[in-house]
Structure 1
Amino acid sequence: MDVGILHKKISRITKSSEKWKLKQQDIFLKRISELLQEGFSLSDGLRFLQVMMVKEKNDIQKIINEMEAGNSFPTSLHLLGFSEQLIVQLQFSMIHGNFIETLQFCSEHISIKQKQIKQFQKIAIYPMFLLGLATMMLFAIRQFLLPTIRNSTSTDSKTTIFLIFFLSYFPQILLIILSIIWIIILLWRVKFKKKSAYDQAVSLERIPLFGKWYKDYYTFFFSREFAYSLLSGQSIYQIIEMMEAEPTNSLIIEVATKLSKDLKSGENLPTIITSIPFFREEMTWIIYHGQLTSQLGIKLKIYSQECYRILLADIEKKINWLQPILFLIIGLIIISIYGILMLPMLSMMRGV
């Protein structure tokens, strides 16, 4: 199928539909995989799910209609707001024959994602509440106590001058900081969108702290798809042709094009992988060793599982870092507020 036509179909489908919540997506994929394991065909499984998932009956009917109109099942999932990455994995799995396993994996991935979101909310909600409260206190101090602080303190101290200036112009300072952050993000997004998908991936991989997530994910995704395709009997060249022709993700097309071009120019696969900055370095050695022992498929499969484990562990680690950092910021703000409130008393004590 032509990639441009596929994009148009997905765009048309997405515009006319409401997105499902992650919980609904998880249940849907889990149940359809269970039905397929029991011997149901995909169309029969979807019709049976209309009975099991009464609230989603009309949405499932839309998927059935799209499939009857010639769209694939993964493509039709854009209808429900499934992510492009998940759809691409399902699209490939229908080619290399691990469709049920991929459905189960995607269901588990969504379930893990839900847990991480809940964990993030649980960790962040109280510190964010305190941060908002501290900000309101600064506004209240500025509104009601600033005149008293000005009249009762000496302006000889640089600290006093700074605090009075900060309180006097706190709204403007806050607005300027937020505006600068917004402008930086806006300019970055404009510049980012002008880049090719390949260059976008390189940029994401370079983001401090979070760039590692993209590198882990891209390595996991490509090693997993190569592994399953090799284990299904496809050659490297057949896999590259499949990636160039099938996916809805332009990054996959560009990576496949680079692989094809470099292989035709005489370079070997490990060397090419080394030149792609958003792949982990170990992937080169896994491919080299796998080719040497004629076990490339199974080694890439095991390696992809390890990359996925590392990715989840790092996300978990950084989420757990968030709360202490937020509390540290809040603590500094509260100490500053306490210092501001004590300033008139300290000035009076000096004058005694």
Structure 2
Amino acid sequence: MKDRKKHLNARKQAIFFQSLADLLNAGFSIRQALADILIFFPEHKLIFDDIQHELLEGKMLSSALKPYISESTFNQIYIAEKHGKLSDSVKQLGRTLERKVQQTDKLKAILLYPMMLLVMLGVLMIAIQVWLKPELDKFQDLQNLNTSAWQNYLYLLLGGGMVIILCACFLKVAHWLAKKPLLARQELYCRIPFVGAVYRQYCHYYIAFNFALLLKSGLDIREICKFLAEFDETSLLAQFGKELNKNLSDGNELNYFVSKYVFIPQELNLFLGKGNTIAEISSELMFFSELTYDKLIRQIDRLINCIQPLLFLVIALIIVSMYLSILLPMYNNLGGIYK
């Protein structure tokens, strides 16, 4: 039955989580809140009926929502249900998804004009190859035509060879990454030029926010590791807890583990080494996660703003290449006539 249902998109998830948080803060139960939120999503009645059915069977909200949300969203709700304040976590999720939708809309608006230009250039290039290029070739003598044919054949072989090599390299890198441990892959992702800094900032926010929720519930480091082991072993939090527990069991200090990985916020050493109470550390980490999130949003906005100029540069190079493909044969023909 779940397979035939349409999942909520990011925009509707943002509305759902924000509305759920407001109703929970107003004193509604989860079931009452879901019944009221259904008013905003009548087309998704099957989804909400299924969620209500799961809750009636005694399952947690995170388990009921799991088929319709991402793994990271599920983990965050699960942590909040087990050891944190659900309404605060859900509110943060709604805010995060709302900003994601805004950035997606902004990216689409930025890409619209360059993509239209690229489509028009593609049509123009096809027209040049189909109609203009044959007319230019008529001005060449038989020898030049044969030479041009051999050159085109050579270029085709070289181009095809390059495509095959690039595809083989891509598949080899993908296979190499797939065999890497998850934390090692996270390290590599964080070091990718341009987008790596954004991904690293997201990891800092994600770890700091969830770590703050767990500390807020009164868990110590060992208990946090044990709790994170309950997650899917392919998730970042599960591997984070497993590796942290291994380092502590080996007798390493926490600051050694934090300094070992670039995707872990180094500020954890500062907060956990101050000697404050767990409640104070949790509040500081929660505030830090909010600052990290704001910085993440600014980085994404800057990255989005760089996309349009880069696309226009690509378009300019394509236009110059088109002019050269037309003018160079004409120049060669004129040179042959004057000789």
Distance 2:243 2:282 in 1: 21
**1:141 counterpart residue number:** 128
Q: Please state whether the residue corresponding to 2:192 is helix, strand or coil.
A: coil
Distance 2:105 2:200 in 1: 24
**1:5 counterpart residue number:** none
What is the CA distance between 1:346 and its match in structure 2? Answer: 3.8
Deviates more, 1:279-288 or 1:62-71: 279-288
Over aligned residue pairs, what C-alpha RMSD do you find?
Answer: 3.4
**2:51 counterpart residue number:** 63
Q: Percent identity?
A: 24
Q: 1:55 to 1:14 in 2, by over 3 A?
A: closer
> Is 1:96 paired with 2:112?
no
Q: Please state whether the residue corresponding to 1:308 is helix, strand or coil.
A: helix
Distance 1:285 1:344 in 2: 66
**Letter aligned with residue 68 of structure 1:** L
The answer on whether the counterparts of 1:290 and 1:299 sit within 8 Å (CA) in structure 2 is no
What is the CA distance between 1:233 and its match in structure 2? Answer: 2.3
What is the CA distance between 1:164 and its match in structure 2? Answer: 8.3
**2:31 counterpart residue number:** 43
Q: Please state whether the residue corresponding to 1:311 is helix, strand or coil.
A: helix
> Is 1:109 paired with 2:89?
no
Deviates more, 1:183-192 or 1:334-343: 183-192
Q: 1:314 to 1:164 in 2, by over 3 A?
A: farther
**2:325 counterpart residue number:** 340
What is the CA distance between 1:300 and its match in structure 2? Answer: 1.7
Distance 1:166 1:315 in 2: 45
**Letter aligned with residue 31 of structure 2:** S
Q: 1:162 to 1:71 in 2, by over 3 A?
A: farther
> Is 1:276 paired with 2:261?
yes
Q: Please state whether the residue corresponding to 1:152 is helix, strand or coil.
A: coil
**1:263 counterpart residue number:** 248
What is the CA distance between 1:320 and its match in structure 2? Answer: 0.7
What is the aligned length?
337
**2:9 counterpart residue number:** 21
> Is 1:325 paired with 2:313?
no
What is the CA distance between 1:288 and its match in structure 2? Answer: 3.0
The answer on whether the counterparts of 2:215 and 2:278 sit within 8 Å (CA) in structure 1 is no
Q: Residue deviations 1:145-187, cap 9 Å, x none?
A: 2233334369999xxx999888778887776666655554444
Deviates more, 1:242-251 or 1:272-281: 242-251
Distance 2:128 2:154 in 1: 12
Query: What does residue range 214-229 of structure 1 map to in structure 2 within 5 Å?
Result: 214-229=199-214
**2:187 counterpart residue number:** 202
Q: 1:334 to 1:305 in 2, by over 3 A?
A: same
**1:7 counterpart residue number:** none
The answer on whether the counterparts of 1:84 and 1:249 sit within 8 Å (CA) in structure 2 is no
Deviates more, 1:291-300 or 1:89-98: 291-300
What is the CA distance between 1:331 and its match in structure 2? Answer: 0.6
The answer on whether the counterparts of 2:208 and 2:265 sit within 8 Å (CA) in structure 1 is no
What is the CA distance between 1:330 and its match in structure 2? Answer: 0.5
Deviates more, 1:26-35 or 1:229-238: 229-238
What is the CA distance between 1:347 and its match in structure 2? Answer: 4.5
**2:119 counterpart residue number:** 132
**Letter aligned with residue 241 of structure 1:** K
Q: Please state whether the residue corresponding to 2:264 is helix, strand or coil.
A: coil
> Is 1:83 paired with 2:70?
yes
Return 5+ residue gaps in structure 2 as ranges: none
**Which of 307, 327, 331 does residue 292 from structure 2 map onto?**
307
TM-score (norm 1): 0.82
The answer on whether the counterparts of 1:26 and 1:110 sit within 8 Å (CA) in structure 2 is yes
The answer on whether the counterparts of 2:204 and 2:263 sit within 8 Å (CA) in structure 1 is yes
What is the CA distance between 1:108 and its match in structure 2? Answer: 0.9
Q: Please state whether the residue corresponding to 1:306 is helix, strand or coil.
A: helix
TM-score (norm 2): 0.85
The answer on whether the counterparts of 1:230 and 1:297 sit within 8 Å (CA) in structure 2 is yes
**1:191 counterpart residue number:** 176
The answer on whether the counterparts of 1:138 and 1:167 sit within 8 Å (CA) in structure 2 is no
**Letter aligned with residue 11 of structure 2:** K
Q: 1:348 to 1:284 in 2, by over 3 A?
A: same
